[in-house]
Amino acid sequence: MSHCKGRSMTAIKRIDPKYGQGIPKLLKKIRTLSCYRHENIVSLLVFGDEMILVYEHVSRGSLDRYLDSSHLTWSQRLKICLDATKGQRYLHDHQRLIHCDVKSTNILLDDQWNAKVSDVGLSIMGPANEHSSIFSLMSKVAEMCMPHLTSMLK
C-alpha cells in the first residue's frame, strides 16, 4: 500500500505478528533495520508498536517487471546490477549482513532507474570480526537460505 505524506510517497506494510519471530525479537530487528541508510537500500522510515512499517516509496517497482522488456537498455541493466551490488556491499561491509533472498522482486527501481535492495529483514548477521570462521558463517547462511538441502545432508 502506498501513501502520500506531503510531497513524499511512502509504502506502508503491516506485519501479522503470528508470522514472525516473536514481537520482541522482531521489534529489535526493525529498530536495527531503521538505522541503515544507503542510496541503494530501501529505507525503513518509521515503525510502530502496531507492527506497521513505513518505507520510502520506490516508484517503478521491482526489477522483475522489466527484465523481459526491451525497455531497458544494456547500459541501464548494467547500472542496475552495479547499484544492487553497492547495496549488497554496504550490507556486507558496513552492517555485517548477508541478504538471503536476493532476487529480481527484491530489487526496486526509482524514477531515475536507480536500483535499491529491499526485504533486508531476511538478512542474517555475519561474524563480528574477520577472524571468525567463514565455514561456520556459510553453514549458517546455507541453513537459513536452503533448509531443504541442509536437512538432506544430515
Catalytically active residues are 101
Q: Is residue 64 classed as helix, strand or coil in its secondary structure? A: helix
40 contacts: CB under 8 Å, gap ≥ 6: 83, 84, 86, 87, 90, 114, 115, 116, 117
Contact 120, 41 (CB under 8 A): yes
- The three cell numbers of residue 26 are 522482531
- For residues 106 and 117, the answer to whether their CB atoms sit within 8 Å is yes
Place of cell 522488456: 69
User: By three-state DSSP, how is residue 121 classified?
Assistant: helix
